[in-house]
Amino acid sequence: MSLANFSFPTAIRFGPGARKDVAEHLRGQGLSRPLIVTDKALAALPVLAEFRSHLQGLDVAVYAGVAGNPTARQAMDGAAAFREHGADCVIGFGGGAALDVAKVVGLAATHEGDILEYAWDHPQVRSIEMELPYFVALPTTAGTGSEVGRSAVISEDDTHLKRVVFSAKILARQVFADPELTLALPPHITAATGMDALTHNIESYLSPAYHPLCDGIALEGTRIAARSLATAVREPGNIAARSDMMMASMMGAIAFQKDLGAVHACAHALGAVCDLHHGLANALMIETVLAWNIEAAPDKFEELAHVCRAGGGGPGFVRWLGHLKQKIGITGTLASHGVRKDQVPRLVEIASRDICHQTNPRPCTPADFERLFQAAM
């Protein structure tokens, strides 16, 4: 058996009202000039103004240039805003896109070169050599779990291909996970982001990589999401269900230290080619890919069926996922969501190059991806 490394370093303050403790925390670190990094839509909503009301005594600036899938340009513009404000820390406030940009704004502001030069697969990848500005994260969705992750997914501006900056140095120093920040999410966003969280937990558990700590977290995250996702969609003000989904989201992101699988490889391709929402893309591919995976990990599928009270082993678990999607309003095929058959070759190309499928329980060839995309059409 080979040696393994395990790390769970993120400090998390969890629960309703956690957002109100940010100012005191930053002052305790000797910080006073935060830059809030958020997205354009969120910046216009009352939730940001309400959060800022709890930052009295701090000199706050806002960078709200994040939109859609985060791009290198957005990250570099955020770094310029950081320098212009003379900021001494970063507050990430938003969903996965805003938090991914927030993670690397301090990096781009204090290091030379374009942010994509720090992506793990860059031919001349740069090292993070200096201490990064203090960073705290507040998620406003329950899906990506980016607030506890050590990676930032940033797209190339021209090709929209996703690149990953991966380092423990970009982890938030403190997470303020406040489920009250998700109460205003509309049902379709709650559903799509919730499926992202559920997929993270499921694919992490199914990954053949050795990480029993993550396996336990992923199974419990799956159980929590299974019991509360439909309630969070149906009853938007249910704080218990919202809390469950925020916890399941963080658990999924912690668990995928172990890596993910072919569902995510397909979803990343759909985001790059068709600009499909990541959570929705996962939801549209998950049954097709998991049904294909059952034979490679039957015992694990049995365990997933057990924690979700699905019954029927792997096939029963996949059927349960279909019923759950119906309950939360995610219906249709790739084609009904605007994906064209002539886009399949490009989808196959990108999915085949995506690192996530390397830890799929069943090896994936380009021909396999073509069959999976065609089956999901």
> Over the chain, what is the mean pLDDT?
94
> What is the token pair recorded at 180?
């009250």
Domain ranges of the chain: 12-182, 187-376
- Distance (Å) of CA 228 to CA 57, 67, 238, 327: 38, 28, 10, 12
Read off the pLDDT of residues 99-126 as tens digits, 9 standing for 90 and up: 999 999 999 999 999 999 999 888 888 9
pLDDT over 90 (residue 48): yes
Could you give the percent of the chain with pLDDT greater than 70?
98
What CATH code is assigned to 12-182?
3.40.50.1970
Nearest to 231 by CA among 307, 142, 140: 142
Residues 285-338 have pLDDT tens digits of 999 999 999 999 999 999 999 999 998 889 999 999 999 999 999 999 999 999
Q: What would the mean pLDDT of 4-24 be, rounded to a whole number?
A: 85
Q: How far is CA 294 from the centre of its chain?
A: 25
Beta strands in the chain (DSSP E): 12-14, 34-39, 61-66, 89-94, 134-139, 151-155, 162-166, 174-177
pLDDT tens digits, one per residue of 237-283: 999 999 999 999 999 999 988 889 999 999 999 998 998 999 999 99
Predicted local distance difference test score (pLDDT) of residue 286 = 98
What pLDDT band is residue 6 in, cutting at 50, 70 and 90?
low
**Is the pLDDT at 1 greater than 80, yes or no?**
no
Name the pTM for this structure.
0.93
Which residue type is seen at 20? K
Dihedral (CA of 197, 202, 208, 214) sign: positive
The pLDDT value recorded for residue 40 is 94
What is the percent of the chain with per-residue pLDDT over 90, rounded to a whole number? 88
Q: Say if residue 4's pLDDT is above 70.
A: no
Q: With a cut of 80, say whether residue 2 has pLDDT above it.
A: no
- In this structure, are residues 82 and 35 in contact, taking their beta carbons and an 8 Å threshold? yes
Q: What is the pLDDT of residues 142-199, one digit of tens each?
A: 999 999 998 899 999 888 888 889 999 999 999 999 999 999 999 999 999 999 999 9
Q: What is the CATH code for 187-376?
A: 1.20.1090.10
**8-state DSSP, 197:** H
In the numeric block, the tokens 């103004």 are attached to: 49
324 close to 305: Cβ distance less than 8 angstroms = no
* Same fold flag, 12-182 and 187-376: no
